């Protein structure tokens, strides 16, 4: 049996992660679950949380706001609107981003633009909660 799986985290604007790994742990709608090479076929909706990817002796962490995971025996593909590499991220950076986003909300921007900003605020607040 193959001892590695290919893991990809993809957003509409970028490939956040694309590497071979030994294990992946994700937050599904029904709870946290892990995937090893040779896993049965699975499609799962994901909720906000840290996705942990074991690469060699390191565990890499990526925040995924929500999305879908497609699992095969050799691949894990995570498709999400919002993902952040948290391996070198500091909580003060996240808090600063939230403050900046809150300052962007104004009547001049219009309801649609403000709704997008509010969604970004919710995403970053969920990210910050992972560090607490």
- Locate the domains of the chain by residue range: 5-85, 91-129
Kindly state the tokens that stand for 68: 């879908």
Fold type of domain 5-85: ATP Synthase; domain 1 (2.60.15)
E strands, 37-97, are: 42-46, 49-55, 58-64, 67-71, 75-80, 83-85
Sequence-ordered list of residues with C-beta below 8 angstroms from that of 72, at least 6 positions apart, any chain = 39, 41
**How confident is the model over 72-81, as pLDDT tens digits?**
999 999 999 9
**How confident is the model over 37-73, as pLDDT tens digits?**
999 999 999 999 999 999 999 999 999 999 999 999 9
């Amino acid at each position: 049996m193959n001892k590695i799986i290919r893991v990809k985290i993809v957003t509409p604007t970028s490939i956040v992660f694309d590497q071979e790994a030994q294990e992946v742990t994700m937050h599904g709608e029904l709870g946290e679950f892990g995937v090893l090479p040779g896993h049965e076929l699975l499609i799962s909706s994901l909720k906000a949380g840290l996705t942990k990817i074991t690469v060699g002796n390191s565990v890499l962490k990526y925040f995924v706001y929500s999305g879908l995971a497609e699992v095969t025996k050799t691949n894990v593909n995570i498709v999400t609107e919002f993902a952040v590499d948290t391996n070198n991220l500091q909580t003060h950076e996240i808090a600063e981003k939230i403050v900046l986003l809150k300052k962007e909300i104004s009547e001049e921007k219009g309801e649609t633009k403000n709704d997008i900003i509010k969604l970004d605020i919710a995403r970053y607040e969920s990210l910050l909660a992972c560090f607490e």
